[in-house]
Structure 1
Amino acid sequence: MDKNSTSSTTVPDTAWLGRGRHLGPEPERDVRRNLLALKAARVIDDFLDLDPVEAARSTDLYPRDETADPGPSARRVFEARWSVADGVTVRAQLTTFEPESRRAKGEGVGWVLAAEAERAWEAGWPSPATVFWPDSDQVPWDHETVPDVRLRTANHLPKDDDDLRRLLRACTRQSWAVHVVIHEAMTPDVLGRRPVSAFLPPSLRHRVVEHRATPDQALIADFVMKRELGVGIPRGGAVVLPPAPRLFEYDAEHFTVPNVFLDGTEPTTLLARIQEFAALPQHLPADAEQALTRLRQGWHLLTPDEELAHARAMVTQYAKALEAMTASCDLYREAAESALEALADASRGGAPRPAPPATSKEDPSPWKALTKSLSRFRGPTPQEPGSETSQPPHGT
């Protein structure tokens, strides 16, 4: 992975980021079962199941900083490695978190998933979400962090306009997903109720949230969206919602599709607009940047070559540390010998040894100050015979 491609404003083109909530009783069990099945089927190369404390304390491939620690609310850390087209390696890390509050019943367990490939991510690659989570409607892992919103399904807009305003604000400001609103010109049949996101490429399906406005919501949905987001929705059409904050010139007309036929056929125009929007530079939120940092600097699932390189790097690092410690010990030993000599001279009241020639480099040892302090306690230097001060005064 390229550790230098992190941007403080945009998501790197090598990364896949997602998050959500699992409302079931044992989310970690669902992850383990899926990873075991995929490893047995050789879909993935390997995986790790780590305790967060163990993950934070262990030695990693890359230098660590404080954002590599998942934090006290983390429950488990899972890592997986697999290969995609042309042998490109993908590394991914999923962390489950305790809910921020237990006040809301059914809040579920939060999860954050960060994956990165050795080159720019392609939408046709397998979705990292279905590497860790089973792609089954029976496992409720696909709830968005925004309440009452799910991936892999069509979410109907709330009837109340205030609830609709709150939903649109949360979806555009808090969610990491791409949000699309579709107006149903008429009540669809079973085929028409199938989510449009099912037609998207695998890696994009779990990054798109689909909202539906019922036939009688045309006016209120259009009014609230224009007021809150500056973009409306045509009858029987669809629109890709603008991001917040906007990092590019969003063209509302371009990302609005006037007609979408919900009859089970593939809506090619809408799908093209969604894929075009998803390929644009996207804002990188602070918590998403932390997840990417944890993946890069808190990685544990090493290949044999990486383990060898890591061992060699550690040997070099320890050798340098040992060399620095040896040099430091030599300096302290010399300083201690000088201090003992000065102390012996002071106790005998003898003349001090001449100071060594001054050098341009200052002695960094703390014993230098001690030697200077001891020299102050030496007695006066005896006068030699024949000096001027030894002659008696005149007139005696």
Structure 2
Amino acid sequence: MAKNSSSSTAVPDTVWLGRGRHLGPEAERDVRRNLLALEAAGVIDGFLDLDPVEAARSSDLFPRDASADPGPLARRLFEARWRVAGGVTVRAQLTTYEAESRRGEGEGVLWVLAAEAERAWEAEWPSPATVFWPDSEQVAWDHERVPGVRLRRTNHLPKDDGEMRRLLRECARRSWSIHVVVHEAMTPDARGRRPVTAFLPPSLRHRVVEHRATPEQALTAGFALTRELGVGLPRGGAVVLPTAPGMPGYDAERFTVRDVFLDGTQPAELLGKITEFAALPRPLPAGAEEVLTRLRQGWHLLTPDEELLHARAMVTSYARALEAMTASCDLYREAAESALAALAEATGGNGAARVPAPAAAGQDTSALKSLTKTLALFRRPNR
């Protein structure tokens, strides 16, 4: 995959980012089927299914640099374009990767997704995840990079204190998602076991991971959160976890809810805290900057009008480059002619330098000065 690096640059408000693992047998087939169905239904304008090597290849009309290369582990690259809010265009890329290590079983196929709209992203817009992946429980595309964690389900914290702390630490450091921990004050029924994230707006739903602490885990979960992330967990309440690196504007008390009733009704206060947290400026997580650059600079799915504009821009660029080269050649030729003339004057036309007689040593040396000045032209970078 792309190199693992972090950036202090904030995620643009026009961008939606996601990352996870698909544990099914044929990840790319699931993506193709979903894109074909949405294109046939008119939900998306179009899509491309690309070989990563071909996607990164440069040409005269489409010059691409190293930022367009998704890396040696890339399996497939998909692009899709659709419109929201009456005409706002969204462009998105999803890239699938081989597992980084073959030592562990069940790692599945890794995927990263970046989408960008023509204006600030709105939570009510369709989730880019369900443009590429089917929104079905039968397709297990929603596994987090952190093992044992899923996006569309409630995730109960491990019973072992050490495992719990390790999980929370990994979620803060490795995940691109927003993580929420909810304490069950009493064991909920079937309605209360429904994920709180199901009530979130579509574009936010697949960016949030919900963890549950059982009634007896009140102390251990609170201790683990305080020790690892510096936040508390009220009994029967919830807290939106901070990210690593930290976010400006985050305050644990601000994103803590004292009471969450897990009875199947909409927990308005907690949903409001999650939405507020998602609106904060957030540093680009590790690896996201390369994904966003590839979306912007390695885009292939152009409309006919966009292709025409691109071709015209390239013609203009090449014309300017040719004009600059011609001007440079003219200047070089003029300098060369001046140098030859000065050399002829300095040598008397026979190639041998004329040595002035002692009596004439103090006389005019304008020919040598002219030659020196002319040759200096060749040492200037802009010549």
Unaligned runs of 5+ in 1: 1-6, 367-396
Q: Distance in 2 between matches of 1:267 and 1:61?
A: 53
Q: Deviations over 1:236-294 (max 9, x none)?
A: 21111122222224322221112212121111111111101111111212411111111
Greater alpha carbon shift after TM alignment, 334-343 vs 111-120? 334-343
Greater alpha carbon shift after TM alignment, 258-267 vs 152-161? 258-267
Q: Distance in 1 between matches of 2:152 and 2:52?
A: 29
1:167 maps to amino acid: L
Q: 1:63 to 1:253 in 2, by over 3 A?
A: farther
Q: How does 1:152-171 map to 2 (within 5 A)?
A: 152-171=152-171
Q: Deviations over 1:1-26 (max 9, x none)?
A: xxxxxx84311111101100111121
Q: How does 1:324-335 map to 2 (within 5 A)?
A: 324-327=324-327
SS of structure 2 residue aligned to 1:269: helix
- Which residue of structure 2 lines up, in the alignment, with residue 364 of structure 1? 378
Q: 1:185 to 1:198 in 2, by over 3 A?
A: same
- Which residue of structure 2 lines up, in the alignment, with residue 306 of structure 1? 306
Q: 1:218 to 1:61 in 2, by over 3 A?
A: farther
Q: 1:350 to 1:217 in 2, by over 3 A?
A: closer
Q: Deviations over 1:66-105 (max 9, x none)?
A: 3332111111111111110031111111111111100001
Q: Deviations over 1:29-71 (max 9, x none)?
A: 1111111111111101111111111111145999754333211
SS of structure 2 residue aligned to 1:212: strand
Matched, 1:282 2:282: yes
Q: Distance in 2 between matches of 1:98 and 1:305?
A: 36
Deviation at residue 199 of structure 1 after TM alignment: 0.4
Would the aligned equivalents of 1:63 and 1:297 in 2 still touch at CA under 8 Å?
no
SS of structure 2 residue aligned to 1:30: helix
Aligned residues: 358
- Which residue of structure 1 lines up, in the alignment, with residue 4 of structure 2? none
- Which residue of structure 1 lines up, in the alignment, with residue 267 of structure 2? 267
- Which residue of structure 1 lines up, in the alignment, with residue 362 of structure 2? none
Q: 1:17 to 1:60 in 2, by over 3 A?
A: farther
Would the aligned equivalents of 1:14 and 1:116 in 2 still touch at CA under 8 Å?
yes
Would the aligned equivalents of 2:57 and 2:64 in 1 still touch at CA under 8 Å?
no
Q: Distance in 2 between matches of 1:171 and 1:234?
A: 20
Deviation at residue 331 of structure 1 after TM alignment: 6.1
Matched, 1:89 2:89: yes
- Which residue of structure 1 lines up, in the alignment, with residue 28 of structure 2? 28
SS of structure 2 residue aligned to 1:76: strand
Matched, 1:116 2:116: yes
2:83 maps to amino acid: S
Q: TM-score, normalized by length of structure 2?
A: 0.85
Would the aligned equivalents of 1:50 and 1:76 in 2 still touch at CA under 8 Å?
yes
Q: 1:361 to 1:304 in 2, by over 3 A?
A: farther
Q: Distance in 1 between matches of 2:279 and 2:251?
A: 15
Deviation at residue 200 of structure 1 after TM alignment: 0.1
Matched, 1:247 2:230: no
Would the aligned equivalents of 1:183 and 1:214 in 2 still touch at CA under 8 Å?
yes
After superposing on structure 2, the runs of 4+ consecutive aligned residues of structure 1 that deviate more than 4 Å are 59-65, 327-343, 345-352, 354-361
- Which residue of structure 2 lines up, in the alignment, with residue 56 of structure 1? 56
Q: 1:176 to 1:347 in 2, by over 3 A?
A: same
- Which residue of structure 1 lines up, in the alignment, with residue 231 of structure 2? 231
Identity of aligned residues (%): 75
- Which residue of structure 2 lines up, in the alignment, with residue 371 of structure 1? none
Q: Distance in 2 between matches of 1:167 and 1:15?
A: 27
SS of structure 1 residue aligned to 2:90: strand
Larger radius of gyration: 1
Q: Distance in 1 between matches of 2:283 and 2:188?
A: 35
Would the aligned equivalents of 2:61 and 2:311 in 1 still touch at CA under 8 Å?
no
Deviation at residue 151 of structure 1 after TM alignment: 0.4
Q: Distance in 1 between matches of 2:374 and 2:276?
A: 65
SS of structure 2 residue aligned to 1:55: helix
Deviation at residue 337 of structure 1 after TM alignment: 7.9
Q: TM-score, normalized by length of structure 1?
A: 0.82
Greater alpha carbon shift after TM alignment, 51-60 vs 101-110? 51-60
Unaligned runs of 5+ in 2: 1-6, 355-366
Q: Distance in 2 between matches of 1:171 and 1:38?
A: 32
Deviation at residue 198 of structure 1 after TM alignment: 0.5
